[in-house]
Structure 1
Amino acid sequence: MAATHSVTAAPGDSAARDDLLQEYGLALPAGEGRQSGVDVALSMEPLQNLVQLAAKLCGVPFGVINVVTEDEQQQVAAVGFEAAVCARKDSMCSEVFLSGKTTVVPDASLDPRLASNPFVTGEIASVRFYASVPLETSSGFVLGSLCVFSNSPGTPAKDQLDMLEILARQAVQLLELQRRTLQLKRALTEVRESNAKLAEFAGRVSHDLRGPLTTMLG
């Protein structure tokens, strides 16, 4: 196994991580598309395109962006297979995404951390080559990972890993943009609700004062 470009391990691997992920429009319960009255079903197409580019650059058939919640791995964009959700205990990325560095495994069946994983044994898939880059925000919170893999052993070139890390940073920027968009939507919703309450209050006050004012003027 090889690793490149070590960074500081990020905090946030706790029950509170789901609340943080929801700020990005992620980690929603199955079938839920709204949060606090705000539509969070934003387009995943940019992330899908990024994953496709990552897989092509590394010359492998599969790529995915995984978001790791308290107890699940949610695949928000994937190429080569249908994105799905699995238990965090079955996730390959959950084993390494908080390591603070890019993880490269030429043959996962020979790696003691991953050899018994259902994505390696054939129970779910038969992954051999595997490379994973943490999706770490500027605040040090790790959202999940960008990973590429294949069913055959392999060793990527340094240039390929460098590009994979660049694409991972780009994925974080896209998710940060989504977070800011959601924050703006929530703020606008709060303003509209406040304006509606203010208008209701003003109407009520006007009605309550109409009788006394009419009497005084009379």
Structure 2
Amino acid sequence: MAELAGLDDPRVRTVNEKHGDDHGVNLGKLRALAKRLKSEQELATGLWNTGDTAAQLLAILIFRPRGLGRDELDSMLREARVPKVHDWLVSYVVKNNPHAEELRLVWCADPDPVVASAGWALTTERVAKKPEGLELTELLDVIEAEMKDAPDRLQWAMNHCLAQIGIEHPEYRALALAVGERLEVLKDYPTPRGCTSPYAPEWIGEMVRRRTDEGRA
């Protein structure tokens, strides 16, 4: 904890706080520290239990994902209200845990939109990498019915899933584009030059174009 405190940079903290992340540790330095420590379950648990954001991010990097139980992960996810901790926990730990699919189903149906957003993040992962068994038409129906009025974190997660369906599955691309065009979610989101818009129809179109260009190269 003393070493983490020594890495805290007020300038980094100021930038992070604009995104809801209350820590000031450069993520590159945090990853270097994790690389030095390697997997260390007991230390990771202790770091997580401090409730400190930088410590929890470090804990996520040194946890052994398969060493955590289903109920333990569920509890951790519900504690993770800081966006970066929430995202890293899902991406680095839950996705690599045997209980990921069970938790996906439970979290998608949770009334807490932050918890539900984790379920949708796991669904997006399946859409891209393991779509077998998913009813993509039903997912598109749910997105069309619920995304427009969903709270921000949940809306972003559902929008990512919508875009991924259109990008990865040509047979559903027209449906995904139509849903995005009807909802117009994030259509006017300010996007820096050179970055891809999060508006699903533009996002889908850009990624498909890139893949087409790569295929021709």
* TM beyond 0.5: no
Structure with the larger strand share: 1
Bucket of the pairwise TM-score, normalised by the shorter protein: under 0.3
- Name the structure, 1 or 2, with higher relative contact order (CA <8 Å, separation 6+): 1
TM-score (norm 1): 0.22
Structure with the larger helix share: 2
